[in-house]
Structure 1
Amino acid sequence: MSTINTQAVGAAERAERIVDTKPLLFGVLALTLFVAALRLFEQAFGWTVGLDSFAPEFELYWINLLKAAVVLSIASVALLAGLLWRTRDRELEKLSPARETRRLLYLVQWLVVFALALFWGLSFFSEQTAVWHMTAVRDTDFTPSNIITFYISYPLFSIIGVGAFFYAKTRLPFFAQGYSLAFLVLVGGVFMTIPNVGFNEWGHTSWAMDEGFAGPLHWGFVFFGWMSLAVFGVTLQILGRLRQLLGNEGVDALLRR
């Protein structure tokens, strides 16, 4: 009986080491605090110094924020992708099933944070931008709402998506052996919302579209936003690999629980 208990305790300890939710909690907390800071900044300075693009205060609070956002976004994605590639696992063929399972679960956590960032960018801030256009007369394409939405929240979820892709590519045998079409559609598709911003702003400059948000020039955001549905393809690939690692007995045990 003592031997059985010892084996059970050992199995429980190994399970705890495989399932580590600390990165997920940290990621969700960091993302939430960042979004809250953006929204508070906008609340404080959007209406007070954000309506006249010719005012010195607009340059101080909003154009400087725009410049910093562009530089930091480019630097962040280059640093993150470079770091993940530089620290890649060069001996994936020796990866144990337990460690691979743990890394697959880390990838799932990447995707959860990515999905949350997509919500803030493509839903919360994008809808807020629509409301801004319909309530405030703008004299520039770089309104406070546009700066936060297009040049901060969109690059943010793109950076997280690129990080998830490179993590999978450099640390998981299944994704390292080729290119996952679902993953490419997921990350590349939602990234294309950023180039679509230029097309969108050109339309706003050429035509009065501030109250016509069902116009064709806005369809690109919907089309590329729907690329996020490719996350289900990536999830199926992860679940398929987990089934291979766990085996039929492991899957049955999980279902029984």
Structure 2
Amino acid sequence: MATVVQNDKSGMQQESEGILSSLLYPKSGSGMPKFPAVATIAILVIGGSFFGVYRWYQQTYSFSVGMDYFEPEFDTYWMNLLYAQLVIIALVGSVGSALVWFSRPDANDVAHMEPLQELSIYNFIFALMAAASFFIVVILAVFVEADAAWHQVTIRDTDFTPTHIGLFYMAIPLGMDAIILGWIWVHTRMPDFQNRVSIPLCLVAMAPILIMPNLGLNEWGHTFFYAEELFAAPIHWGFVTMGWGLFGMAGFILQCLARVRILTSLVGEEGSEKAAA
């Protein structure tokens, strides 16, 4: 009886893994990898819904209970949100990094990955980058612009404003979590990056960290001696380092495309050999 139950559990696990694999790494009828459109749409819908709800919260409670840091309502609606999201983001980053690292496959298995499987994973990587590019535009449009507009029409009383809590203490740290997890995943599961470090991807991972010194200077300066909130203000110039870091994504894409070119040649040769046989 125990053997039957164990076999049933094993079968269910294999079935669930098969469904997940078909979503993340779909293949055509001929067995060739396809772009994971369903997974990409799901990521966009989930992420878009999250940012949409967060933006609704900002719009609803910023002007009613977010104008004065020293009011008790601000502590209820905004500081509690700040503490909660910082704890959650820290846990996601630390626990997620440990899980990705300790669940890494055997190095020999990675080195001998089948070309078709590797191509499927690259399709998934391209899908993630496409979704990430959409979310970057959303963050720039919904949170960064909102922060500039907020400071131009309200008085900055402390560093913790509703727009800062959404931008500097949620969106950017969340993106940093995603990039770090992706960095570990790529370097432990992709043959082309197993024994080397992708410098462009390192630049992308460093991008959120590069703005931290300027963020501190910006908040200190605006609080004590610099009232101007225009984007072109000198105290904001250091924020471009994050954009420069994100430019490293172009280099990582070129690295991926170079490997895809090799893999497609290998798959083509294998297909020709099978046809000849």
Q: TM-score range by the shorter chain?
A: 0.7 to 0.9
Residues 226 and 245 of structure 1: CA distance in aligned 2, closer, same or farther (over 3 Å):
same
What secondary structure, in the 3-state scheme, does the structure 1 residue paired with 2:104 have? Answer: coil
Match of 2:68 among 52, 69, 75: 52
Once residues 193 and 34 of structure 1 are traced to their aligned partners in structure 2, the CA distance between those partners, rounded to angstroms, is 25
**Percent of counterpart pairs with the same letter?**
30
Once residues 153 and 167 of structure 1 are traced to their aligned partners in structure 2, the CA distance between those partners, rounded to angstroms, is 21
- Map of 2:47 onto structure 1: 31
CA drift at 1:113: 2.6
Once residues 127 and 214 of structure 2 are traced to their aligned partners in structure 1, the CA distance between those partners, rounded to angstroms, is 28
- Map of 1:64 onto structure 2: 80
Which shifted more, 206-215 or 221-230? 206-215
Native 8 Å contact 1:192 1:224 kept in 2: yes
- Map of 1:160 onto structure 2: 178
CA drift at 1:120: 2.9
What secondary structure, in the 3-state scheme, does the structure 2 residue paired with 1:14 have? Answer: coil
2:256 aligned with 1:234: no
- Across the aligned residues of Structure 1 and Structure 2, the Cα RMSD in angstroms comes to 2.1
CA drift at 1:129: 0.4
What secondary structure, in the 3-state scheme, does the structure 1 residue paired with 2:236 have? Answer: helix
Q: Which amino acid aligns with 1:12?
A: G
2:218 aligned with 1:200: yes
What secondary structure, in the 3-state scheme, does the structure 2 residue paired with 1:201 have? Answer: helix
**TM-score, length-normalised on structure 2?**
0.80
- Cα deviation, 1:68-87, whole Å, max 9, x if unaligned, reads 12111111111222221122
- Map of 1:41 onto structure 2: 57
Once residues 11 and 212 of structure 1 are traced to their aligned partners in structure 2, the CA distance between those partners, rounded to angstroms, is 51
Native 8 Å contact 1:193 1:225 kept in 2: no
- Cα deviation, 1:49-100, whole Å, max 9, x if unaligned, reads 0001111110000011111121111111112222211221212122111111
Residues 83 and 121 of structure 1: CA distance in aligned 2, closer, same or farther (over 3 Å):
same
Q: Which amino acid aligns with 1:14?
A: G
- Map of 2:95 onto structure 1: 79
Once residues 138 and 209 of structure 2 are traced to their aligned partners in structure 1, the CA distance between those partners, rounded to angstroms, is 15
Once residues 200 and 209 of structure 1 are traced to their aligned partners in structure 2, the CA distance between those partners, rounded to angstroms, is 10
Structure 1 runs not aligned, ≥5 long: 1-9, 252-257
Q: Which amino acid aligns with 1:63?
A: M
